[in-house]
Amino acid sequence: MDYTIIHELPGRIRIELTSPGMPVPDSYNIEGQFSDIEGIKGVSFNCLTKRLLIHYNGSQARGTILKAIENIPLNPTRRNNPKSSNLQQKKKAVMIGGMLLAAGSFMPIALRPLITIYGAVPILKKGIISFFNRRLNVDALDSTAIGVAIGRGDYLTASIITFLLKFGDYLEEWTRQRSRESIAKLVYIPSEWAWVKRNGKETMVNIKDIEVGDLVVVRMGSSIPVDGITVEGEAMVNQSSMTGEPMPVPKRAGVMVYAGTALEEGLLIIRTTHVGYETRVSKIIKVIEESEGKKADIQSHAERLADSIVPYTFLLSGLTYLFTYNHLKASSVLLVDYSCAIKLSTPLAIMSAMIASSRRGVLIKGGRFIEKLAQTDVFVLDKTGTLTEARPEVVDIIPFNRFSRDCILKNAACVEEHFPHPVATAVVKRAEEEGLTHREEHADVEYVLAHGISSKINGKRILVGSRHFIHEDNRIDVGYADSLIKDFTDKGYSILYVAIENILGGIVVIEDPLRKDSLKFINMLRDSGIRRIIMLTGDNDATARSVAERLGIEEYHGQVFPEKKTEIIKRLKNEGHVVAMVGDGINDSPAISYADVGISMKHGADIAKEVCDILLLDGRLEGIIEARKIAQDAMPRIKHNFSYIVGVNTVLIGFGILGIISPAISALTHNGTTVLVSLNSLRPYRPISNNI
């Protein structure tokens, strides 16, 4: 490695690295060369400027540093990729086939059959195995066509067909490789090493050795190797590998960052929360790679159709020979099959749609759910946690019977703080916001399940809970406050009653606020063509009505238990609707599981995330709209590919029967068609509207 000293001070040296004709290794590989050198205090390498800054102690360390720079390897070792090797093997087969085809014209006539058969052996072998297993598939078609040409002594045609089939096979593998590379880009981390801060000192470790809780130091130009929370530093991070957005986003303390994203500017110290296969991007990749077991109906149908066509191709070829006695025409029919392109293009389109959705924070767990999402005409939405924040807030405190507002709030918070349920948390939070502090002056606190709390403060009995608990269980009169309470309950608010010494002291008015994106999401659903939107909730009818009115939802059901939610889903499906259910709780899980498309939020219960078909990784409701647009784009693309495949190949068969084109031209055009439709399947999906 060549270098130039840019600037130098005692104990500090800045060096620019150059490697003529070769890329400079990444920062972890560069910095790792100095990890064991005695006297090194710190090393920082900028991939963009190719400059290295080193702090050191002692004059001897300087010489060791410069020697280490000279010995930096230009070609860091890379792990072998078997899938890439498979592509190289196919490429090698094409090159050998091309050389045999070119050499055949110059070889003695006696050697031409041997050269032709040698080149065709791999294809003939596949065909023989297919016949032996009584399968009339594409391999049987190809080997038959080559065998007919060899049997007729037309070695040039047989060699051309062999070469074109190998070339087509290589191109198909190349398109598959592109799909794999799209997945690989999601998790690409250019180095196996990372800097971890332990005991106040930075140490370079293998990424595999990073543990949850470790502080990982990431500098400019490096990829983030873990999921974690930023604890120190500010930086601009490029998340295009996951979101598709080209512009970097700012990251600072308290903000989540993800493995596979790139730090373009700044420095971050990240507390690791997930490593290896537990990172978000690894889970996305795992689902995509395992999705083959959940094929879309259109994909399964295409594969069944492709397999069923092969026997008819043999039949048509036989009939062509029977009526024309022309081997060339019969061979042309054999060389044109529909199955190759159909079987390749459809799964590639599904895979491409899944990758595009994952980049928008939507994890789709199988191809069939893409198809169902595109067909969905009814959306059923849980209220709590989906349309609302599921974090209750205190909106008002109303005192009665000469008690002060502060007294009611302070005493309610005093007993509620012992029970970490959402309503209690809301009361305590409001007291803290208003600066109402209290001393522990109450007696033991008794919690009555699903009813309320009982205790004593300064010798006075205090009750906090539901109307049932205050009025019916403890016989405290609340009737004089009914008109005021009814005004709140009619608007969808919940009421927490506070009684002191058998007198109603006041009420605390609670609401579960709407998510900021709920109304926008409902409007976007309608704009996308969904005409029926149903809201379900276990809350009372007044609360359900209030939320539905604010969101413009006409159909809703209150006081719905889990089994009732499932019954509603079943009824809609029996009516012929394709139903999507969106929820996040344990009580939503049966309905999510039974719906055609079950959708859960990232903050949902574990069982809801497990049974769902689509998981919103970012928790954004708009992600559902984005994924649906992608799905609606994928289905016409698949059908268009199918029409193109059938149309072009049918014309080729017709030309072959009429003798307009030779078998070699049939093979060339057929393989070209396969490659074109495959590339169309991998074509990026149209960008989502800026209004989303």
Asked if residue 85 lies in contact with residue 52, where contact means CB atoms within 8 angstroms, the answer is no
Residue ranges per domain, the chain? 1-77, 291-354+628-682, 366-388+516-623, 393-511
Neighbours of 653 (CB within 10 A): 23
Burial 625-645 (b: 16+ CB within 10 A, else e): bbbbbbbbbbbebbeebbebb
Give the range among 80-94, 219-233, 348-362 with minimum mean pLDDT: 80-94
Calculate mean pLDDT across residues 586-613: 79
Q: What angle do CA 242, 247, 251 make, to 5 degrees?
A: 75
The two three-digit tokens of residue 207, written as one number: 């990424």
Say what the pLDDT of residue 297 is: 58
pTM comes to 0.58
Say what the pLDDT of residue 304 is: 63
Please enumerate in sequence order all residues whose Cβ is within 8 A of that of 256, keeping only pairs 6 or more positions apart, or say none: 227, 228, 229, 230
- What's the pLDDT band for 114 if we cut at 50, 70, 90? confident
Asked if residue 174 lies in contact with residue 157, where contact means CB atoms within 8 angstroms, the answer is no
- What's the pLDDT band for 287 if we cut at 50, 70, 90? low
- What's the pLDDT band for 80 if we cut at 50, 70, 90? very low
Share of the chain above pLDDT 70, in %: 79
The two three-digit tokens of residue 402, written as one number: 């000469």
Q: What DSSP element (H or E) covers 394?
A: strand 393-399
Residue 200 above 80 pLDDT? yes
Neighbours of 412 (CB within 10 A): 28
The two three-digit tokens of residue 261, written as one number: 């994203």
- What's the pLDDT band for 96 if we cut at 50, 70, 90? confident
By annotation, the residues acting in catalysis are 382
Q: By CB neighbour count within 10 A (0-12 exposed, 13-18 middle, 19+ buried), where does 19 fall?
A: middle
The two three-digit tokens of residue 256, written as one number: 């989540």
Burial 294-306 (b: 16+ CB within 10 A, else e): bbbebbeebbeeb
Calculate mean pLDDT across residues 568-588: 88
Q: Rounded distance, CA 452 to CA 450, Å?
A: 6
Range picked from 68-72, 308-312, 372-376 for highest mean pLDDT: 372-376
Residue 545 above 80 pLDDT? yes
Residue with tokens 């916001």: 433
Give the range among 118-132, 373-387, 411-425 with minimum mean pLDDT: 411-425
- The phi and psi torsions of 531 (rounded to 5 degrees) equal -100, -15
Say what the pLDDT of residue 440 is: 56
Domain over 366-388+516-623 is classified CATH 3.40.50.1000: yes
CATH number of the 1-77 domain: 3.30.70.100
Give the range among 442-456, 520-534, 617-631 with minimum mean pLDDT: 442-456
Q: Rounded distance, CA 36 to CA 599, Å?
A: 51
Q: Rounded distance, CA 139 to CA 334, Å?
A: 11
Q: Rounded distance, CA 433 to CA 415, Å?
A: 17
| 678: nearest Cα among 220, 172, 287, 312 | 172
Residue 122 above 50 pLDDT? yes
Distances (CA, A) of 542 to 391, 570, 593: 19, 26, 28
The per-residue pLDDT for range 443-476, each reduced to its tens digit, is 567 766 446 788 888 888 899 988 888 888 888 9
Range picked from 89-93, 96-100, 656-660 for highest mean pLDDT: 656-660
Say what the pLDDT of residue 26 is: 54
The CATH architecture of the domain made up of 393-511 is 3-Layer(aba) Sandwich (3.40)
DSSP letters for 13-65: EEEEEE-TTSPPPPHHHHHHTTTT-TTEEEEEEETTTTEEEEEE-SHHHHHHH
Q: What DSSP element (H or E) covers 131?
A: helix 112-132
The per-residue pLDDT for range 655-679, each reduced to its tens digit, is 888 888 777 777 678 777 777 887 7
- What's the pLDDT band for 335 if we cut at 50, 70, 90? low
Calculate mean pLDDT across residues 48-57: 74
**Average pLDDT over the chain, rounded to an integer:** 79
Q: What's the order of all strands across the beta sheet hosting 362-364?
A: 362-364, 614-616, 597-601, 579-583, 378-382, 532-536, 555-557
Neighbours of 202 (CB within 10 A): 16
